[in-house]
């Protein structure tokens, strides 16, 4: 599994990212928890793999390349 962080999302320490990539979390919710994101932050995090948006319950596979970013708004 490869995890990338796009935009203004707070990136966890590199050692934690590498550890999580090796742990092979079962779904997106577990991945976000292992990376240290709180339940308050999860609704604002968007995850994609292969150009498709993932749901929190989406199953993950070891060969996935996952991109994480946050929703931001302004006006």
pLDDT, residue 65, reads 96
Task: Let me know if residue 37 belongs to a domain.
Answer: yes
Task: Let me know if residue 75 belongs to a domain.
Answer: no
Task: Let me know if residue 41 belongs to a domain.
Answer: yes
Contacts of 61 (CB under 8 A, 6+ apart): 1
In the chain the first and final C-alpha atoms are separated, in Å, by: 36
Looking at every residue in the chain, the average pLDDT score rounds to 92
pLDDT digits (tens, 9 = 90+) for 30-53: 999 999 999 999 999 999 999 999
- Assess whether pLDDT exceeds 70 at residue 75: no
Boundaries of domain holding 7: 2-70
Instruction: Tell me how many domains the chain contains.
Output: 1
Question: What band does 71 get if pLDDT is binned at 50, 70 and 90?
Answer: confident
Q: pTM here?
A: 0.89
Q: Which CATH number do you get for residue 32?
A: 3.10.20
Tell how strand 45-49 and strand 52-53 pair up.
antiparallel
Task: Let me know if residue 51 belongs to a domain.
Answer: yes
Task: Let me know if residue 22 belongs to a domain.
Answer: yes
Query: What is the C-alpha separation between 16 and 11, in angstroms, rounded?
Result: 10
């Amino acid at each position: 599994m490869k995890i990338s962080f796009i935009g203004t999302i707070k990136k966890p320490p590199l050692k934690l990212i590498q550890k999580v990539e090796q742990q092979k979390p079962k779904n997106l919710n577990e991945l976000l928890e292992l990376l240290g994101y709180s339940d308050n932050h999860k609704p604002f995090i968007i995850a994609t793999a292969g150009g498709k948006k993932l749901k929190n319950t989406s199953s993950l596979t070891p060969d996935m390349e996952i991109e994480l970013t946050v929703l931001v708004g302004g006006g």
